[in-house]
Amino acid sequence: MATKRPHIGAFTLIELMIVMAVTALLLAITLPVLAHARRQAESVYCQSNLRQMMIAALIYTEDHNDFFPIAYYTQQTDRGPIHYNWDFTVRFVDEQPIVESGILWQGEPVDKIQQCPSFQGESNTPYDPYTGYNYNTSYIGRGQGENIPQPARRSRLTQPARVAIFGDGQYIHGTNKFMRAPLRSEGDLSFNDRWAGTQGFRHNRQTNMACGDGSMRSQADVYTTVEPARHQQALEQYNQQHPRSPVGFLSPDNSAYKVP
């Protein structure tokens, strides 16, 4: 005697379309939330990197008579120049570049601490393996080619919580590692490329920075006032084309960078 097979329900076309529509709706809701959460996690990771840089800078001042590390200088040797920078040192052996940890790290090896997780481009400085951060060169690190080459002393920071030391370096053509104040200062009077020392507002349209007291700060306000003034238009045009990740300065004057 033939047995009846149990009836197995199947999706109708309408039911299938409803399931697909609900799935698409859930994805549309969930994906932006996940993307925002990922960007937020990258911002936290970035602040952790900056905190480690700031700790290294404070240790450096303890070891070097209160002076911050110099931002850059070059030493000529019989084997060629050695380029000392706050983040990396580059020397040449048989014309091949050897990249080592920079002045800030006092010989200690560093890995991806100097790579911002939200910056995907290449370094604009040859041979640097990691990139994305800059160092206050106008007032803190200064350097060999500045009007005042000697770096600042930590004790000069009477309001350290208001002074940016390290941050998310970025300008129109990529990253940078020398943070610049927007207006002329005694330390860099003859320097005319301040527009290339801006910050990247790439963490949900905010930029991260490490301040002189060791605190971390995020900022959404972008400023494009700069000297020489002819570069301001280029910054504003770039920001119109990249509204989600603009570049600019931390203040309309030098107050966010300045040491009294």
Model confidence pLDDT, tens digit, residues 97-111: 999 999 999 988 877
The whole-number average pLDDT for the span 40-61 is 93
Residue 5 belongs to some domain of the structure: no
Residue 91 belongs to some domain of the structure: no
Q: Is the link from the previous residue into 228 a cis peptide, with omega within 30 of 0?
A: yes
Non-local (6+) Cβ contacts of 39 within 8 A are 118, 203, 204
Residue 119 belongs to some domain of the structure: yes
The whole-number average pLDDT for the span 89-93 is 92
Which range of residues forms the domain containing residue 191?
15-67+113-248
Residue 21 belongs to some domain of the structure: yes
pLDDT of residue 27: 59
Helix, strand, coil percentages, rounded to 5, for the chain: 35, 20, 45
Residue 77 belongs to some domain of the structure: no
Condensed to tens digits (0 to 9), the pLDDT of residues 159-200 reads 999 999 999 999 998 999 999 999 999 999 889 999 999 999
pLDDT of residue 121: 80
Residue 3 belongs to some domain of the structure: no
The upper half-sphere exposure of residue 125, i.e. CA atoms within 13 Å in the direction of its Cβ, equals: 25
Q: What is the pTM of this model?
A: 0.86
Q: How distant is the alpha carbon of residue 152 from its chain centre? A: 21
* Structural domain total, the chain: 1
Closest of 20, 47, 44, 100 to residue 209, by C-alpha: 47
Q: How distant is the alpha carbon of residue 84 from its chain centre? A: 20
Question: Are residues 58 and 154 in contact, defined by beta-carbon separation less than 8 angstroms?
Answer: yes
